[in-house]
Amino acid sequence: MFIHTIMTNIEKYNNAFVEGLEIPVEQVEGLTMEGCDKWDSIGQMSLIAVLEDAFGIELAPDEVMAFTSYAAGLDILKNHQIDL
């Protein structure tokens, strides 16, 4: 039987960290750039690319710069009218 599941926005958001930074989902909440070795400038590019794809948005360069923590990312997405 084929079961089709639709991810919630928060699941999509968490999954962007999993896919973009290649970390387990348990580590995602509360994550900061400083506290994660894989969240370097290269990880940032990858995370943003996955996130933009997942939500169909384009982040401005100043938003990319401000995206330095899990919490900051939530605020940025809310500014794009994404309910989380």
List residues near another protein by CB under 8 A.
41-42, 45-46, 48-50, 52-53, 58
Residue closer to another protein (CB basis): 44 or 68: 44
User: Is the alpha carbon torsion for 4, 15, 67, 45 positive or negative?
Assistant: negative
Residue closer to another protein (CB basis): 45 or 71: 45
Residue closer to another protein (CB basis): 29 or 41: 41
Rounded to whole angstroms, the Cα distance separating 60 from 11 reads: 23
Please state the closest distance from residue 53 (CB atom) to another protein, in A. 6
Nearest to 13 by CA among 64, 61, 47: 47
